[in-house]
Amino acid sequence: MSNTVQQFAAELKKSVPTLLEQLKAAGVEKSSGADSISPADKQALLAHLRKQNDSGTVSISVSRTRTERSTVAGVQVETRRRRRWQIFFRFIWMGYFLLLLLIMLNVGGNRDSASSGPTSEHIAVVPIQGLISADSDANADDIIRSLEKAFKNPNAKAVFLDINSGGGSPVQSGEIYRAVMRLKGERKLPVYAVIADAGASGAYFIAASADEIYADPASIVGSIGVISQNFGYRELLGKLGLDPRTFTAGEHKNFLAGDQPLKPEEVAHMQGLLDNIHQQFIKAVRDGRGSRLKETPEMFSGLFWTGEQALPLGLIDALRQKHPARRQIQRPENDRIQTRPQRLRAPDARRGQRNLSQLASCARSQRAGQPHAAQITRAAQSAANQSGHLDRAPAKRRKAECPTLPT
């Protein structure tokens, strides 16, 4: 590419004075061949020469016509070169953006493929670990979503329920049990439950939905029962000189309140509620295990057994050490479907007792004046509620503090 008048004249095969004269006629002032010439100057020269040719007002000799034609041709060549470079760089930028777009689409595709599972034959592993409740990691919504994902993947050859839980909510457990039974009806895909340390209570409720159950010889299996815990604190309030007052509309609205004496009819009603849930649990186990179950009077009493003891009872199908179930789970090609990041939390059954002990200690430590009744009652009620109930997840731990007792 020519950058000076002299270079441009050599490219056009004409003398420098002739080119300077033409440039001057075109309105481009150049004094010597060393002067730089820009693409705009060349365009001005080209426009001038075209104008002369179109108007016919200039008498041009044959040699001059050839010179001007070569000049025009040179300018056109230069213009084409410049356009080619512009197009080239435009393609470079377009290619760069297309590459970025492809990378982004590929990342998104990988995420989609990761969410839909492996594209080769595999075993889908669904973990059920920790407390089973609506606000824990092992909740029905997330686990059912994982199960549906596993059953929808055509490359899944089996589903393993990787269980390590002592139980939890009968509602959450029942929903997962029914989801497994429904999905098995929609697609003939074998489901295996593999119990680690524990598969008890609500966790065994879920395991009963599997085609086969495997456990370690030392695993805890069973606990087919329902529990609800509460305790009263009337005597404590009496010792503190407190008289709780609760106003209700409805004879049993203050059902089994800790600050009220037990009523036989309410105790009977609560027992009927637990018995009803217990029968739902028993039916699920019977339906899931079928003729393999060797029922005994103690089987549905809430007792639990080791995996070795559970085998002859028909609660499990084989010991894990005699079956490659665990090795299958640990294979790297298997799709371990995570529900949420695991945050295993152990139930704190004695929290209410600790709170009550602290409450009494705080009350004894207050020497000036009488305790504020509302504050003590709320603290005692909170302690009773936290003492335990029907398979509820423990509340978030907070630092215990004595209530402020005004003087």
Active-site positions?
A: 201, 253
Contact call for residues 403 and 376 (beta carbons, < 8 A): yes
How many whole angstroms separate alpha carbon 186 and alpha carbon 177? Answer: 15
Residue 236's CB: how many other CB atoms inside 10 A? 19
Task: State whether residue 160 is helix, strand or coil.
Answer: strand
- Give CA–CA dist 198/194, Å, rounded: 10
Query: Torsion-angle region of residue 161: left (phi > 0), alpha (psi -120 to 50) or beta?
Result: beta
Question: Roughly what angle, to the nearest 10 degrees, separates helices 264-289 and 170-186?
Answer: 30
DSSP letters spanning 211-268:
SEEEE-TT-EEE-----------HHHHHHTT-------SSTTTTTT-TTS---HHHHH
DSSP 304-321: EEEHHHHHHHTSSSEEGG
User: Rounded to the nearest 5°, which phi and psi values hold at 138?
Assistant: -90, 75
By three-state DSSP, how is residue 197 classified? strand
What are the C-alpha distances in Å from 4 to residues 42, 84, 304, 360? 11, 21, 98, 100
Nearest CA to 307 out of 326, 288, 282 is that of 326
Cα separation of 126 and 162, whole Å?
6
Helix (H) or strand (E) holding 104: helix 62-116
297's enclosing H/E stretch is: none
